[in-house]
Amino acid sequence: MAENTTTTVQEVYAELVARLKEIHDIHSVMGILHWDQEVIMPPGGGDSRAQQLATLAGLSHDKFTSPEIGEWLGQLEAAPESEFNPIELCNIRETRREYDREVKVPRRLVQELAELGSRGHHVWVQAREKNKFNDFAPLLEKMVELKKEWAKCIDPARPAYDVNIDVFERGFTMQRIDPVFERLKAELVPLIAAIQDSDYKPDTSFLQGTFPIAKQKELGQRVIRDMGFNFDNGRVDVSVHPFCGGGDCTDVRITTRYREDNFIESLYAAVHETGHALYEQGRMKDQKALPVSEALTTGVHESQSLFWERMIAQQEAFIERYCGLLAETFPESFRGIDPHTAYEAINVSQPSFIRVEADEVTYPMHVILRYEIERGLFDGSMSVKDLPEIWNDKMEAYLGVRPANDREGVLQDVHWSGGAFGYFPSYTLGAMMACQFYRALEREVPDIRDHVRNGNFQVIKDWLNRNVHSKGKLHDTDTLLTQVTGEPFNPEPFITYLQEKYTAIYRLEGNQARS
C-alpha cells in the first residue's frame, strides 16, 4: 500500500517556522557579537570579529535564500487565506518580502558588506580618536559603492537611496520625505533664530559642575527601573555611542556614556535607549523568533525612545517627580532648585555640534543635514572627499555654528561605518510619530501628567505595550498610526508642539517664532 505523502498547509507552515527560528538564532548570536564588539571586545579582536560576522551572515543568507523557502512560500500563498490567522498571514507576507529581497543579492556581496561593516566600526573609532576623516574616507567610499550595488540588485528601477531608506522606513521615499523636511526647515530655522535672539535665557548654571560617574550610574538605574525596564531580561553598559541591542526580547542590552561635567547626557541617553528596550521587551513572546513580532520600522522604534525621552522625561511633571532625587544625588548643584527652573534648564535650546547632544528643536536640522548628504552621495552630486566642508557649510547655514574639526563634525556618528544609509530620517520621522502617540495617550488618559508626577509609569508602559509594542508588523505604519491616533503620519503636531513649548520657555511672541 502506497504511503500518503500529502502535506497539509499547516505542516508546510510549521516547516517554514522551524527554518525562520534557525535564522533568528543566527541573528541573535550576531546581535550579541555586535554588542560585544562595541562594549567589551579588545581592540585587537576587530579583524577576527569581522570574519566571524561575515561567516554568520553567509550562513544566514544561505538558509534564508534556499529554494525550499521559495517553495514553501509558493504553497502557502496558493492556499486560501482562511487557512491562516492574522499572525500567520503576517509571517508569510513578511517572509516573502524579505525572501524576494535576499535572493536577489549574491552571497559574496552579503559577506563583503558584513565584513566591511564590522571592520568599518573599528576604522571609524580610530579615525574619530585621531580626528582624521581621511583615515575613514576610503572605507566610506567603498561602503557607498557596495550599498549602491546592493540596491541595484534589489530593484534597479528605483533610486538607490530609496531602496536603502526602505530597509528602515518602508512606505517612505525621498518623494515623501523631501516636502516634510522642507516644511521643517521653513518652520524651525526661524524658531531657532528667534530662540537665540530672545532676551530671556533659562538659568543653566546648576547643570555645570562635577557630577561623579558613580552617582550618575545610580541615578540612571533608578529612573530606568521606574520606567519599567526588566533587568532580568536586560542590562546596562557603557559604549562610545549609546545603543540598544542584544539577542532578542528576552536579552535586551542598552548602553549609555558618561561625562563628569554633564550628567544630563548620560541620563537622557539612558532614558532614550530604555524607550527602545521597552519596545523590545514588550514584543510578542510566543512569536519572538518570527517576523510578526519584530519592530514595524526604525521610525516607529525611534518614536518609542523619543516618546519617553522627550514627551515624558522632558515634561515639567517628570522634573517635579525627580527634582528631589536630583538634589539628593547632586546636592552641591541642585539643592534649592525648584522644578520649573530645572524644567527650563533641561529644555534649553542651543545649537550644538553633536547630534546626540542636541535639543529637540535643533535635532531635526542635524537629521536633515545627514539626509541631504546621503541623498547627494547616492545620486552622485556629492563626493566623499568633500564631506567635511559640505557638512560644515550646512551646519553653519542651518544652526549658525561651524565645527572646528572632524570629530565634532563629519566623524561623530557610527551609522555610515556599518552602511546604515537611510537610517537618519527615521529619528525625526519617529519624533513626529511620538507626538502623535502622546496626543492619543492624553486623549485616552487625560490626567497623564498626574501619573507622571506621581511616578506611575506603568500606565504609560501598559498603553504603549497594548497599542504599539505588541502589534509588531501586523499593520503598516499609517494603519498603525490611524488605529492608535486617528490619523496617518502627520508632521503638524510635532511642529505645533515645538512652537508652543519653546515660545513659552523663551517668552517669544507667537509671530516671532513663526516669522
Longest CA–CA span in the chain (Å) reads 93
Residue in the structure block whose three cell numbers are 527560528? 21
d(CA 16, CA 91) in angstroms, rounded, equals 9
Task: Pull the grid cell for residue 110.
Answer: 552579503
Question: Cα-flanking dihedrals φ and ψ of residue 318, to 5°?
Answer: -65, -40
Task: Pull the grid cell for residue 352.
Answer: 550644538
Whether the Cβ atoms of residue 171 and residue 134 lie closer than 8 Å to each other = no
Task: Pull the grid cell for residue 139.
Answer: 572605507
Q: Which of the 8 DSSP states describes residue 400?
A: S
Picking from 463, 203, 191, the residue whose alpha carbon sits closest to that of residue 333 is 203
Q: Is 38 annotated as catalytic?
A: no
Residues 6+ apart with CB under 8 A from 4: none
State whether residue 269 is helix, strand or coil: helix
- Residue 387: burial class (beta carbons within 10 Å; 0-12, 13-18, 19+): buried
Both ends of the chain: CA-CA distance in Å? Answer: 86
CB atoms within 10 A of CB 180: 20
Give one DSSP letter per residue of 175-203, joined into a string: HHHHHHHHHHHHHHHHHHHHHHH-S----
Identify the active-site residue in 94, 115, 265, 273. Answer: 273
d(CA 301, CA 181) in angstroms, rounded, equals 20
Q: Are strands 244-246 and 252-256 parallel, antiparallel or unpaired?
A: antiparallel
Residues 6+ apart with CB under 8 A from 265: 257, 259, 356, 357
d(CA 374, CA 229) in angstroms, rounded, equals 34
Whether the Cβ atoms of residue 103 and residue 491 lie closer than 8 Å to each other = no
Residue in the structure block whose three cell numbers are 552630486? 381
Which residues are marked as active site?
273
